[in-house]
Amino acid sequence: MTTTLPPIDRRSAIPAALLALALIVVLVGAGCATRDSEAAAPVPERVDLAGLSDLVLRVGDQKGGTQALLTAAGQLDDLPYEVEFSTFTSGPPQVEALNAGQIDVAVTGNTPPVFGAAAGARASIVSAYANGGEGDRILVPGDSPVQSVADLAGRTVLVAKGTSAHGHLLLQLRKAGVAPESVELVFLQPAEAGSAFSRGDADAWAIWDPYTAITQTTTDARTIATAAGASNGFWFGLASHDALADARRQTAIADFLVRLAEAGTWSAENPAQWAAFYGEAVGLTPEAAELSQSRSTRQPVALTDTVASEQELADVFTEDGQIDPVDIDHLVDDRFQDVLGPVVGPLPEK
């Protein structure tokens, strides 16, 4: 079973009505939850896929990305189990849903797993995907006097807390020698932030695709920084500990992750076909869809290639006093490396 992808309202210059607002739940560190995320989930024996016809795998999604990708690549055909997709506005609400047992698996950017682990979320990283980071940007209005990240000192920036954009923004401020406390961060989810940005309520907006692409193709907004070269740009597959501890559900997740990896490879090999499908699926203009998907990829890579840079990102948040220390090694669960090994590739050259 799959749900229908919600359309995006193309009448709005900024994605204020891209998605219905979800419950905004931000996982923060410093003791706001029991830190049991480091307790690894049991690893039961997998079962025969043929016996999963009555199982419903619950999958978190953002802007139709995962569902659209799998559908376009034909990876939802002939599933041995059912899939139920739920749409979220960003990664942190997906991590909260995983922790609450509302979904089994989801794909998020690089920062939500870190914030989730710091807050004790019962979820582990189980797969990884490379992304160059070009779609993760800091935007300013076309007529803004702000010309660089250094100019953000004393100004207001919109960003969704605990997202890849939050991590990117923090890294850029460090690189530019700007103290984070000198910048007023306004934490809003993309739809709300898009409305605020279009009204001129803030000086800048740290955001990711497809919101970046929509804004670039409908307004005169300028880019002052991209995550390329500044942040690792990874996407991560996360699974709840409850799902991982269940033999049947774990088996479905293993199969699902292989399908997702193959879909990511297909999209990289068929960019035009993928962009056209994606735009139609989520209601983007052809221009925004092509721009977004030309730079926001999900090419499967080995988990071992991501740990070091992800630890560096986690340490930045810890050093700034935003979260308790997180050990990425404890957050990673490599139980699916036997089935993912044949379908992942090396990190793309930068």
Q: Tell me the pTM.
A: 0.84
Closest CA to 303 of 255, 341, 259: 341
Architecture of domain 49-132+232-342: 3-Layer(aba) Sandwich (3.40)
Distance CA 282, CA 18 (A): 9
Spatial CB neighbours of 82, under 8 Å, sequence gap ≥ 6: 1, 55, 56, 57
* pLDDT tens-digit map of 87-137: 999 999 999 999 999 999 999 999 999 999 999 999 999 999 998 889 999
- The CATH superfamily assigned to 137-226 is Periplasmic binding protein-like II (3.40.190.10)
- Say how far apart CA 228 and CA 295 lie, in whole Å: 10
Domain locations along the chain = 49-132+232-342, 137-226
Q: Is the pLDDT of residue 17 over 80?
A: no
CA distance 8 to 16: 10
The pLDDT, as a whole number, for residue 202 is 97
pLDDT for residue 94: 97
Q: Where are the alpha helices (DSSP H) in the chain?
A: 65-72, 91-99, 112-118, 164-175, 190-199, 211-218, 241-245, 247-269, 271-282, 286-293, 307-319, 328-331, 337-340
Burial of residue 138, with CB atoms counted within 10 A of its CB: 0-12 exposed, 13-18 middle, 19 or more buried: buried
Q: In terms of DSSP bridges, do strands 222-226 and 137-140 run parallel, antiparallel, or are they unpaired? A: antiparallel
CA atoms within 13 A on the CB side of 195: 9
Give the model confidence (pLDDT) of 173-185 as tens digits: 999 999 999 999 9
CA distance 243 to 69: 23
Average pLDDT across the chain, whole number:
88
Instruction: Give 76's pLDDT tier (boundaries 50, 70, 90).
Output: very high
Q: Are 139 and 222 in contact (CB under 8 A)?
A: yes
Question: Which residue type occupies 272?
Answer: A
Shared fold status for 49-132+232-342 and 137-226: yes
Beta strand 105-108 with 235-240 is antiparallel
